[in-house]
Every structure is written in structure tokens, then in C-alpha cells.
Amino acid sequence: MTTQTAFIFTDAYFQFDYGPYHPLRMERLELAFELIQAYGLLDLPQARLLDTVPAKPEALASFHRYEYLNVLKSCNQADYDPEVCRAYGLGSGDNPVFPGVWDFALLTTGASLQCAQLVADRQVQVAFNMAGGLHHALPNRASGFCYVNDAAVAITQLVSRGLRVVYIDLDAHHGDGVQYAFEDTDQVLTISLHQHGRTLFPGTGFVYDTGKDRGQGYAANLPLPPGTGDDVFLQVFEGIVPDLVTAFQPDIMVTQLGVDTFRTDPLTNLCLTTNGFSRAVRLLKSMNLPWVALGGGGYHLVNVARAWTLAWAAMNDVEPPETLPESFLRRIRPSGYREVKLRDEPVTVEKAVTAEIETTARQVVESVRRTVLPVIAWNRNRS
């Protein structure tokens, strides 16, 4: 099996803009790319840097409905109908209509489809599209900053090739759109670690939500209390995710590596650092599966850059130096960022708070181990 990696990217992303007050800023992709480049991680002998190829419009219809895609396409220019758009979740504060929104969706989805094809064809072991992971979009509606669900489209392509796919979502927000896409099939196992839906958008992903029909038992939700830090997050991950993957025996792994789980993220209430995130990514790497890696949320720009640099380093089995490159420091200082290291210092959480969170997290793991794991294991043994 090949050990090559692929990084799919284009600077065409920078021509798009959700608006000056929107938290999803294209600058985060720019900063992440610059930091990865500054560390020399795109010059590694096994790494391939490939330009994004936009998706063909018909590829999006493998998950999205044509009427929605037609409305989204109409938003590409200034002559769209605001009333029609609102019926599809377009034009709200979360999902603004901006020039080129259709072209942006084709690019982000195209990069994920490239990753899927490269990995499925065994041209590379790992492919990373950090502009992807837009996991909230639904078949007929934009949602949560997401217009086209590139993860669902890419997984659909993989399933059409007869591949069993495990989808693992590390974003602070539940991967609702992806779960919805595959909740009635046993060909895809969705696993989502996220902040509890009673405390954060989209208000879904409860532990008792385990799929339906043929897919009953193939959705594993691990909702975490606000305040969850590195230790508890990793206890939950290590306590159930490897066992689920082993029982399912997938052909390929797709991950959403959102980094809005960090304690300094402005939109969420989890308390991870780069240390816990990096450890989780290395655990994913240790599963030794063909791997399609997608980006996701993350609204503290320097956190995004540092975390996805650590993720790409883990995918390539390298350890970057601790001190951030001088070129990157010069880049972030005018914006008020004062970070100087790639990795965070460990954060100490009050013991009483940690104990309460640990108890809740343990109950979540036990529930999934009791309700989901036996279904997967039994069905796999039967086949």
C-alpha cells in the first residue's frame, strides 16, 4: 500500500467572502496554508500538492436536490430572488448570499471528491482538503455556514464503488447533515464527537440517536458537556472509537477535523487545546486506513492554522519545530495575535468540574458501547 499523501488546495478560495462580520473567514485557509508551507511540510518527499478541480454540477446532485442546486446557482450573481432563497436557508446571517457562492461550493466539493478518488484508487494513503468538511448542509437547504455537503457527496461516491466507509467527525458541532445522508444504510458508520446539542447548534446528535431502518445502530453520537478538555475528550475517543472502527471493518475512513473545540474558540464551549486535537489525529493515523481528511469549523484564525498544520504533520509522520516560523509571526502580529508556539501549554481544569464532566462522558461511552457496538459487531460477524 502506498504511503504517499496529497494536499488539495487552490488560492481561488481567497476571492470569496462571507462578509466582514461573518465568523467563517477565508483568511483562516490562507493562514493555515502559509504556516504549513513555512514549515516545509509541502516539500516532503512523500507529499503531493495538487490544485483543486471544481466538481461537476451533476456530482452535487448525488446528495442535494436539483431545485435547491438551481436556486444556489442563481445566487452566483446579483440577480437572485431573495424570497426564493430564504426558503432554502440562503441569505440568512449564517448562510449569506455572496458573489460566486456557487463557484465556491463547486471548489470545496471538488477538492473532497479529488481526495476520495485519490484514496480509493490507492494513489495515496491520505488526502487532505482543509476547505471541506461542510457537514451541516442538507439535501434542500443551506445550514450552519454550509451550502453543499462535500463530505456527503464524497462518501456517496465511495459507497457507489462498493466501499464501506467510516465517517468520524471531531467538530464541536454535530455532523447532522452527514448523519442524515446515511442514517438508513449499513454501508456507512457515522461517529460524531461534539458539544451536547442542548447547548450548541444544530441541537442534534443525542446519544440515543443511532440511525434508522437498515442503518439502525450505524450512527454513534458522543455528545460532550461544555467545558470538556483534552483528557476527557481523549478518554471518550479512546474508549469507544477504535472499537467501533474495528467492529465495522471499513474499507476507507473519512474524517471531519473541525477545530472549533478549542477553549479559545469564540463560538463554542469546549476546552481542548492543540495537544488533545493532535493526539486525536495521530490516533486516527494509527488506524492505518485509507484516509480522506476534511477540514471543518474553527473560528480563531491562529488556532486553525496551528491545528491543521499539526494534522498535516501527523498525516506525514513528522514533528514540526515548536517555535512558529518568523514569517508567520510577522503575518499574524498586525491582527493582534500573540502566539509564538505551535502547540499550546497544557490547561488545568478544576478537579470538581473535571469529575462531573468525566462522569457524564463515561455514561455516553457506556451507552454507545451498549447500543451501537453490539449491532455493528453482530451484523459484521453474520456477513
Active-site residues, by number, are 136
Tell how far CA 183 is from the center of its chain.
18
Residue that is written with C-alpha cell 456477513 in the block: 383
For residues 44 and 23, give the distance between their C-alpha atoms in angstroms, rounded to a whole number: 32
For residues 7 and 228, give the distance between their C-alpha atoms in angstroms, rounded to a whole number: 31
List the one residue out of 49, 44, 52 whose CA is nearest residue 6.
49
Contact 60, 109 (CB under 8 A): yes
Tell me 202's DSSP state: T
List the one residue out of 221, 192, 109, 196 whose CA is nearest residue 156.
109
Neighbours of 21 (CB within 10 A): 7
Residue that is written with C-alpha cell 449564517 in the block: 94
Determine the longest span between alpha carbons in the chain, in angstroms.
60
Helix (H, G, I), strand (E, B) or coil at 299: coil
For residues 320 and 36, give the distance between their C-alpha atoms in angstroms, rounded to a whole number: 10
- Segments of the chain assigned E as strands: 5-9, 47-51, 126-129, 165-169, 188-195, 219-224, 252-256, 291-294
